[in-house]
Homo-oligomer: A and B are copies of this chain.
Amino acid sequence: MSPSFDTPADQRPGRATPDGASASSAIVPVIMCGGSGTRLWPASRESMPKQFIPLLEDLSNFQVTAKRFADPAFAKPLVLASSDVRFIAAEQLQAVEVEAEIVLEPMRRDSAAAVAVATCLAQRQGPETVALVVAADHLIADTEAFVAACLAAAEGARAGLIMTLGVAPTAPATGYGYIQPGAPVGAAGARRVERFVEKPDAETAARYIEQGYLWNSGNFLFRADVMAAELARHAPDVLAAARAAVAAAASDLDFLRLDADAFAKAPKISIDYAVMECTEAAGVLPVSFAWSDIGTWGAIWEASAQDRDGNAFKGKVEAVATRNSLVHSDGVLTTVVGLDDVVVVSTPDAVLVAARERSDSVKDLVAKMKAGRRGEVDEHLRMYRPWGSYQRIDAGARFQVKRITVKPGQRLSLQKHFHRAEHWVVVRGTAEVTIDDQVILRHENEAAYLPIGSVHRLANPGKIDLELIEVQVGSYTGEDDIVRFEDVYGR
C-alpha cells in the first residue's frame, strides 16, 4: 500500500517499533548539504547557503531535515558538507540536539560522488545496510508520512531496488524532473521506473500529469551493496575515487575529512545521469505528501502562510496596494507600493526585487554579478566562524568598524596585523585579551587597545556571548592582513 496522510502511523506495515530496529536493519540517513542556492540570493550565498538559513521558520531547513530522522527506524545520520560550512553545520546540529557524523567534501563533485561516498560509509555497517540519501533543503511538512514512506520504500531497497520517492504532482510544474512509473513490484505500493524525464515545458508537464507521471523528489533508498554494484557497472571512476577518499579520510576535530587528492579524481556527474537513468534496478514509491525543493523565491512564496491579499511578509515590511507578493526584510524597512506578484528580499548589504514568476532568473543575475566580481554575491555581511561571527558595520578610507560575537569558551587565533591598530570596546560579556606578554580581562563598557604589530588574541572565558565593537584604524584593513601564530580550529 502507498503511505497516505490518514493511515495512523502505528498501523502501517513495516513500521519499526521504538526498540525494534537493530543496528543492521536501521536505515542510514545521508543528508547532502551541497549546493549554494544561488536562486535564493541575497539571503543564500556561498558563505551561508540556503539550507542553513531559516527561510520559512525559526529553524533552517538543514535542521528541520536532520530532526526528521529522530524515529528509531533510522540510524545516526551522515551529513555530507563542504569544508566551508562545517562549523555552521556542526553548530546547527548541536542547537537542535541531533547527533550526526559530518563528512567533509574537499571540493564540489556533484551528486554521484556524494552517493558513492555515502555507499562506502554505509558499507562499514554491513554490506546490506540500507541508506537513504536526502537533500538538506527540501520542504516536507508531514514527517510521519515521510517516515512511513521511507519504511515502505526500504522494503523495495532490501529487495534489491534503488528506490526513489515519486511525489504525486499538484500542478504541472516545470522546475522538476518527472518519473514514469512502470509495473508494480513488491507489496508496499512500489513500481518499477519506466523512465526518468528532464524538466519539461508546461504543456508537456500537463500531459505527464494526465499520464500518471510523478515528480522526481531526488530522495534515494538503496542497499549499499546494490548501489556499489551499480556504480561499479555504470560509473566505476566515481566509485573508485569515493572508495579511495573514504579509505584515506582523516578525522579533523569532530569532522571526517575525505582525502582531497582521491576525491578530486571523481568526475563531476549527477547520480541521475551516472546511475539512475542506466540501471535496471530503479524503483519508485508513489507518495502524496506535500513536498517542495523550495529552490526559488517563488517556491518559498508558495510554501509560506499568506494573508488574504496573498502576501507573505517577514520582518520590517510595509505595503500599499500590493498582492500575491513575498517581501522578506532582514533589518531594513522594506516597502512596496502598487505592485502584484513581486518578490522583494532586503538584507543589510543587498536588495533583490524580482518578478515572482521569474524568480528562477535570479541565477542569471548572480552569474552576471560573479563575472563582475561583486563581493555581495558570495559573502554575507555577517560571517560565521567556529568561534562565533563578525559583521562589518562601517568602513571608511582608513578605518573599518566590526561587531564581533564570541561564543562562551571560544577563542580566536593568536594573530598580528601589519597595517592596522585595533580598539576593542566590550558591550556585552567578558573578554580575555592577550596583548604580547600580557593577559587582561575586559568587561562591559571597558576597552582595550592593540597597537599595530602587537601579537594578540581574543577569547571569551565566560558563560554568555561576548560582544564587542572593533574599530580598526590603519592604511589597509583587508581580512588578509593577518599572521596567525596558533589556532585551536586548525586554520
Question: Is A280 among interface residues, defined by CB-CB distance under 8 A?
Answer: no
List A residues 223-270 near B (Cβ within 8 Å). Answer: none
Chain B residues whose C-beta falls within 8 Å of the C-beta of A425 in the assembled complex: 423, 471, 473
Output the least CB separation between A421 and chain B (Å). 5
A207 at the interface (CB under 8 A from B): no
Q: Is residue A103 within 8 Å, beta carbon to beta carbon, of the partner chain?
A: no
* Contact pattern, A 344-373, Cβ under 8 Å of B = 1, otherwise 0: 101011111111011101101100110010
Copy total for this chain: 2
How far, in angstroms, from A300 to B378 measured CA to CA in the complex?
33
Interface assignment of A398: CB less than 8 Å from any CB of chain B:
yes
The docked-state distance in angstroms from the alpha carbon of A135 to that of B467 is 49
Q: Is residue A342 contacting chain B, with contact meaning CB distance below 8 A?
A: yes
Partner among B320, B344, B346 whose Cβ is within 8 Å of the Cβ of A361: B320
Given A425-B473, A469-B471, are A358 and B337 also a contact pair (CB < 8 Å)?
A: yes
Give the residue of B374, B427, B444, B473 whose beta carbon is less than 8 angstroms from that of A445: B473
Interface check A142, CB cutoff 8 A: no
Q: Does A482 contact B (CB under 8 A)?
A: no
Chain B CB within 8 A of A306 CB: no
| A339 on the B face (CB < 8 A) | yes
Q: B336, A354: Cβ atoms under 8 Å? A: yes
Inter-subunit contact A369/B318 (CB<8 Å): yes
Q: Judge if A334 is at the interface, Cβ distance under 8 Å.
A: yes
Scoring A residues 293 to 327 as 1 if CB is less than 8 Å from chain B, else 0, what string do you get? Answer: 00000000000000000000000001111000000
Choose one: B344, B423, B445; the contact of A421 (CB below 8 Å): B445
A467 CB to closest chain B CB (Å) equals 7
Q: Mark A400-435, 1 if CB is under 8 A from B, else 0.
A: 010100000000000000000101010110000000
**Smallest distance from the beta carbon of A163 to chain B beta carbons, Å?**
38
Q: How far is the CB of A37 from chain B (nearest CB, A)?
A: 16
**B332 near A361: Cβ-Cβ < 8 Å:** no
CB of B423 within 8 A of CB of A365, answer no
Evaluate contact between A365 and B332: CB separation under 8 angstroms.
Answer: no
Which residues of B are found within 8 Å of A318, using beta-carbon distances? 365, 368-369, 372, 374
Q: Which residues of B contact A332 (CB under 8 A)?
A: 332, 346, 348-351
Indicate with 1 or 0, residue by residue over A79-91, a CB within 8 angstroms of chain B CB atoms.
0000000000000
Once the chains bind, are B423 and A447 in contact (CB under 8 Å)?
A: yes
Asked whether any CB of chain B lies closer than 8 Å to the CB of A383, the reply is no
Q: A427 contacts which of B337, B396, B447 (Cβ < 8 Å)?
A: B396
A398 close to B344 (CB less than 8 A): no
**Are B365 and A469 closer than 8 Å at their CB atoms?**
no
Shortest Cβ distance from A379 into chain B, in angstroms? 11
Partner of A368, one of B320, B351, B376: B320
Is the Cβ of A337 less than 8 Å from the Cβ of B351?
A: no
The reply to whether the CB of A333 lies closer than 8 angstroms to some CB of chain B is: yes
Task: Check if B321 sits within 8 Å of A358, measured CB to CB.
Answer: yes
What residues make up the interface of A, taking CB atoms closer than 8 Å to B? 42, 318-321, 329, 332-339, 342, 344, 346, 348-355, 357-359, 361-362, 364-365, 368-369, 372, 374, 376, 393-394, 396-399, 401, 403, 421, 423, 425, 427-428, 444-445, 447, 449, 467, 469, 471, 473-474
Q: Which 6 A-B pairs have the closest CB atoms?
A: A338-B358, A337-B354, A399-B427, A338-B355, A445-B473, A393-B394
13 contacts between A and B (CB under 8 A): A320-B361, A320-B368, A332-B350, A333-B350, A333-B376, A337-B355, A342-B353, A398-B427, A399-B469, A445-B473, A447-B449, A469-B471, A471-B471
- Contacts A336-B352, A394-B469 aside, 9 further interface pairs with beta carbons under 8 A come to A42-B335, A320-B365, A321-B361, A333-B351, A335-B353, A337-B352, A339-B342, A398-B427, A425-B473
